[in-house]
Amino acid sequence: MPQKPTACLALADGTIFMGRGFGASGVAVAELCFNTAMTGYQEIMTDPSYAGQVVTFTFPHIGNTGVNPEDDETTDPVAAGMIVKWDPTDPSNWRATSDLESWLASRGRIGMGGVDTRRLTRAIRQQGAPHVALAHDPDGNFDIEALVAKARAFAGLVGMDLAGQVTCAQSYRWNETKWAWPDGFGTQEAPRHKVVAIDYGAKRNILRSLASVGCDVTVLPATATAEDVKAQNPDGVFLSNGPGDPAATGEYAVPVIREMVDSGVPVFGICLGHQMLAMALGAKTIKMNHGHHGANHPVRRSRDGKVEITSMNHGFTVDAQSLPEGVEETHVSLFDGSNCGIRLSGRPVFSVQYHPEASPGPHDSAYLFDEFAAAMDARHG
């Protein structure tokens, strides 16, 4: 006899998927996106930019390498839940300290296995990122109509400022010292640049990457004012990734970013930071149909035509048509032509939509951190 389903995914249009629940029980209401990465599920689940989203993985074997404390991008999982094709198996990896299921349970996040993730991904591509309710009940009791109603009632990410939920409560100095890849990437250079990183939901590996090129990083909360930033007397300002709608967070962040640009210091932004820098320079952002979430997104660098294989995680994008004169488009997605990078002409003010710290292939875009450091070196003369 087939097992009774213990998880239920209800889409707002009434489509229902049944499967096996794991991790925490309960109900999560969120937007649903698909991620095509074959590795990095722990980093994905703990990336603050995934707040308000359930992630379905197109790669069928998720959980094989377990979890470990070093791969967390923040203290807690931030994605609202995860959906996989096969149930996670026992981990097999020398770095694993726990298995995915108990890690998820201990952090209050819902998992669902046994789902036809190809069908689900097709639905996302066709209808745009749907609003969903994901339920896990070990007894398998579901009120499906109520779940559909919850999915319908979800307001969605447009207009939502989520940075406030995931930013640090207080400023702090990034002082991790022990971390490095075997090939030396990530080895810290002696700090020579004082950098303020504004934390809209920063991933740890970004702060680590800044430290690796000689930045002494002070992290400030998302609501930091221009005076808070200037009080640190930084050599450069970094604008982090983060969840939600850039236009909503931009209401308070963009005026601060504009002042930073006007002050003449080098400014570097990633993802949400990129989107809000673009807004500060006069551009607009728009919601995408189903966004870009994966570890093999090709991007063309305009200055020399080089193709970078990048990690991406975004549901909004900078409208390239809205870029004002004097703002160059430096990178373009080879999947759909969407904007992936900008630079203020002749100034060390630049940003990318993708994640150069995520090193999917393996370190293609880490040069951006070097360029930020070089811009600060150039200012010191």
Ligand X SMILES: NC(=O)CC[C@H](N)C(=O)O
209: DSSP letter: H
Cα distances from 173 to residues 75, 273, 308, 315, in angstroms, run: 16, 19, 31, 30
Q: Which stretch binds ligand X (CB under 6 A): 35-43, 173-181, 307-315, 361-369?
A: 307-315
Q: Which stretch binds ligand X (CB under 6 A): 183-191, 220-228, 235-243, 302-310?
A: 235-243
* Range 56-95, binding ligand X (CB under 6 A): none
| Binding footprint of ligand X, residue count (CB under 6 A) | 12
- Shortest distance, CB of residue 295 to ligand X, whole angstroms? 13
Q: Sheet containing 307-318: give its strands across.
A: 172-173, 215-221, 193-199, 236-239, 267-270, 349-352, 339-344, 327-333, 285-301, 307-318
Q: How far apart, in whole angstroms, are the C-alpha atoms of residue 127 and residue 241? A: 26
Residue nearest to ligand X (CB): 271
Cβ proximity to ligand X, 73 vs 101, nearer residue:
73
Q: How far apart, in whole angstroms, are the C-alpha atoms of residue 259 and residue 20? A: 51
Which one among 133, 239, 271, 276 touches ligand X, defined by CB under 6 A? 271
Angle between helices 272-280 and 246-263 (to 10 degrees): 60
Per the annotation, does 351 bind a ligand? no
Cβ proximity to ligand X, 147 vs 342, nearer residue:
342
Which one among 104, 219, 253, 272 touches ligand X, defined by CB under 6 A? 272
- Beta-bridged to residue 241, according to DSSP, are none
* CA terminus-to-terminus distance, the chain: 75
Cβ proximity to ligand X, 66 vs 273, nearer residue:
273
Q: What token pair was written down for 287? A: 């919601």
- Shortest distance, CB of residue 359 to ligand X, whole angstroms? 15
- Shortest distance, CB of residue 346 to ligand X, whole angstroms? 27
Which one among 314, 331, 341, 349 touches ligand X, defined by CB under 6 A? 314
- Catalytic residue from among 290, 293, 331, 355: 355
Per the annotation, does 346 bind a ligand? no
* Range 35-54, binding ligand X (CB under 6 A): 49
Site mask for ligand X (CB under 6 A), range 97-136, x = bound: ----------------------------------------
User: Could you say whether residue 315 binds ligand X (CB under 6 A)?
Assistant: yes
**CA 231 distance to own-chain centroid:** 28
User: Could you say whether residue 316 binds ligand X (CB under 6 A)?
Assistant: yes
**CA 349 distance to own-chain centroid:** 21
CA dihedral of 173, 179, 181, 187, whole degrees rounded to 10: 60
Per the annotation, does 313 bind a ligand? yes
User: Could you say whether residue 243 binds ligand X (CB under 6 A)?
Assistant: yes
Per the annotation, does 242 bind a ligand? yes
Per the annotation, does 128 bind a ligand? no
Cβ proximity to ligand X, 79 vs 349, nearer residue:
79
Which one among 81, 88, 242, 250 touches ligand X, defined by CB under 6 A? 242
Contacts of residue 76, Cβ cutoff 8 Å, sequence gap at least 6: 46, 107
Q: What is the 3-state secondary structure (H, E, C) of 303-327?
A: CCCCEEEEEEEEEEEECHHHCCCCE
Contacts of residue 229, Cβ cutoff 8 Å, sequence gap at least 6: 196, 198, 220, 237, 256, 259, 260
User: Could you say whether residue 244 binds ligand X (CB under 6 A)?
Assistant: yes
Per the annotation, does 275 bind a ligand? yes
Active site residue 271: yes
Per the annotation, does 3 bind a ligand? no
User: Could you say whether residue 241 binds ligand X (CB under 6 A)?
Assistant: yes
Active site residue 293: no
CB 266 within 8 A of CB 235: yes
CB 319 within 8 A of CB 340: no
- Catalytic residue from among 193, 271, 290, 314: 271
DSSP letter string over 43-73? HHHT-GGGTTEEEEESSS--STT-B-GGG-S
Which one among 56, 209, 313, 365 touches ligand X, defined by CB under 6 A? 313
**Catalytic site residues?**
271, 355, 357
Binding residues for L-glutamine: 49, 242, 244, 272, 275, 313, 315-316
The site for ligand X (CB under 6 A) is made up of: 49, 241-244, 246, 271-272, 313-316
Binding residues: 49, 242, 244, 272, 275, 313, 315-316
